[in-house]
Amino acid sequence: MARKGLVIVHTGPGKGKTTAALGLALRAVGQGMRVAMVQFIKGSWKYGELKAPEFLPGFEIQPMGRGFVNLGAPTPDPEDVALARETLDAARGKVLSGRYDLVILDEINYAVDYGLVPVEEVLRLIRDKPDPVHLVLTGRNARPEVVEVADLVTEMREVKHPFRAGIKAQKGIEF
């Protein structure tokens, strides 16, 4: 039976969107699959996962060239838009290459929401992907058009968050 690659979306304001994608990567590697993760918005504090390729055979991770985009600005910095374009091209290359069974587009939903990546380009990438390739798109505020074409969509909802109680981010958990 030919494999049907799934289009999976992790969205919502809660924790666990990227983390669950990393868990999928781990499970896929356990099945002998090759996995690429492309990070559209790099959290410069997320070190733990950057070590993952050292452990996981067949897992590659490509963080963006520089740190977190300036999320405070009302419109994105042109340099961030250019970088997001490069990142999207790299992601497209990986998806179409046939070298990966699973490609994770980390924070791409957020990159679209913030105006760094046109949603049409994301839809085109989903449309053009080889049938057997699984795609995971993470990030809050996934566009309805993306949800519409996805196979599996999970929303992470924050019920309780420790930062609200004054607890600091914990190494190995948050980063």
- In one-letter notation, the amino acid at residue 27 is R
Contact indicator for 61, 50 with CB cutoff of 8 Å = yes
By CB under 8 A, is residue 98 in contact with a copy of itself? no
Which residues in the 103-132 window bind a copy of itself by CB under 8 A? none
- CA 63, CA 43: separation in Å to the nearest integer? 9
Q: Build a one-symbol-per-residue string for 65-94: x at contacts with a copy of itself by CB under 8 A, - elsewhere.
A: ------------------------------
**What's the residue count for the chain?**
175
Residue 119 to residues 71, 100, 125, 147, Cα–Cα distance (Å): 19, 23, 10, 12
Which residues in the 8-67 window bind a copy of itself by CB under 8 A? 8-12, 14-16, 18-31, 33, 46-52, 55-57
By CB under 8 A, is residue 137 in contact with a copy of itself? no
Contact indicator for 141, 117 with CB cutoff of 8 Å = no
Residues that bind a copy of itself (CB under 8 A): 3-6, 8-12, 14-16, 18-31, 33, 46-52, 55-57, 101-102, 134, 147, 150-162, 165, 167-168, 170-173, 175
